[in-house]
Amino acid sequence: MADTVDKETRSRMMAAIRGKNTKPEMVLRKALHARSFRYRLHGKGIIFFQMARLAYKYPHKDNIYFL
């Protein structure tokens, strides 16, 4: 399938897409940290709570993983 926009426009559009540290992710992470939840980031958009062995995937991402 042919692209509907030129190369420069496509490049600018793709550069604007952020894969991590998006605003919804930062709001959630700050709220969790303020409530004394400690976590690791596991890939793009996955928060991993090590003590309880739980994982959360942000709803705006493609796949959901359960650990």
**8 A C-beta contact, residue 5 and residue 13:** yes
Indicate if the pLDDT at residue 38 is higher than 70: yes
pLDDT for 34 equals 92
Compute how many other C-beta atoms are within 10 angstroms of the C-beta atom of residue 25: 18
Domains of the chain, by residue range, sit at 20-67
Q: What is the mean pLDDT of residues 16-34?
A: 85
Q: Which pLDDT score is estimated for 59? A: 62
Please compute the mean of the pLDDT values over residues 17-44 and round it to a whole number: 83
pLDDT for residue 67 = 43
